[in-house]
Amino acid sequence: MVVLSQPALDDYSLIKTCKPPPCPLEFQWWTSHTPDAKTLIVKACEFGFFKVVNHGVPLEFITALEAQSLGFFNLSQSEKDRVGPADPFGYGNRRIGPNGDVGWIEYILLKTNPDVTSHKTLSIFQETPKMFRSAVEEYVSAVKKLACEVLELVADGLGIEPRNALSKLLRDEKSDSYLRLNHYPPCLELQALNGINLLGFGEHTDPQIISVLRSNNTSGLQICLRDGTWVSVPPDQTSFFFNVGDSFQVMTNGRFKSVKHRVLTDHTKSRMSMIYFGGPPLSEKIAPLPSLMAEGEESLYKEFTWCEYKKSAYKSRLADYRLGLFEKKSACQ
């Protein structure tokens, strides 16, 4: 648990509780039994955020990783600090990145590719029971498979050939993909402040191709609609939520949208989330796919490698518009 004194709350952002939208927010979802799944997936990616049900990821993989993760987060602070501070991998507490962002959070960030693992990832595995590493590997394998299935459905829906043109970037032996385990302890100090929440993870978009999130049954996740309204996402611990990443937005020349999202803490209950970030190899060039460009359509973005974008994103603040540095300026500007 993150333990902080009352004065430390001055370092955090306090946010008024969002009012519900005028009508219930509906999420597009995909199920393997839906005949028009590829059409639904494309529409969902154009929105930028959707839920996947009937996903086929074994429940025991999900519950095992959650149990092992909570076991780690329940250790004493001194034990957890042995595998910190995050660099960005390893254990992090309060600080998010190197540029001043903070949140009411503690987390573990791990590389998921065994061929390009980090020193801090190995340290985590050495300091935790063998069951922790096993739970991570089984979960990542299953969720990566799910992400690839979704990307192949997207390829079907967009007419991209070959069908694995997108999913192969995640399956590549040099894929730069991560697993993030987030723990948001309850903030009892805020119980007396009616309608006020503490920011757990600030607003941001995900820079990778696609992100796959599963959380427990505690609310807190919010997404930003195109009119700037923040709305809360009802928790669903049996399903997975997908975020389109910045890289995917570029690859579709802006047709798919990378949606800003954030997490608020709960006053009385802890929130636990597990996010797989599907990224391409560092040398992969990111640019609009030629097969998706209409005749005469111009690219909205400069070509860049994933390594270049990753370095740029790492130097930014969470809320920065990272793609702005890579947008092409029109001739009339």
For the annotated catalytic residues, the residue numbers are: 271
DSSP 285-316: EE---GGGPPTTPPPSB--EEHHHHHHHHHTS
Residue 188's identity, in one-letter code, is L
Do the beta carbons of residue 263 and residue 155 sit within 8 Å? no
Tokens standing for 22? 């005028």
Tokens standing for 126? 């050495």
Cβ–Cβ contacts within 10 Å for residue 75, how many?
A: 15
* 70 vs 68: CA distance, rounded Å: 6
Do the beta carbons of residue 240 and residue 254 sit within 8 Å? no
* 230 vs 222: CA distance, rounded Å: 6
* 316 vs 272: CA distance, rounded Å: 25
Cβ–Cβ contacts within 10 Å for residue 27, how many?
A: 19
Closest CA to 14 of 90, 103, 110: 103
Across 247-265, b (16+ Cβ under 10 Å) vs e yields bbbbbbbeebbbbbbbbbb
Q: According to DSSP H, which parts of the chain are helical?
A: 37-47, 59-73, 77-81, 119-127, 130-158, 167-171, 246-251, 306-314
DSSP state of 325: G
CA 259 to chain centre: 11
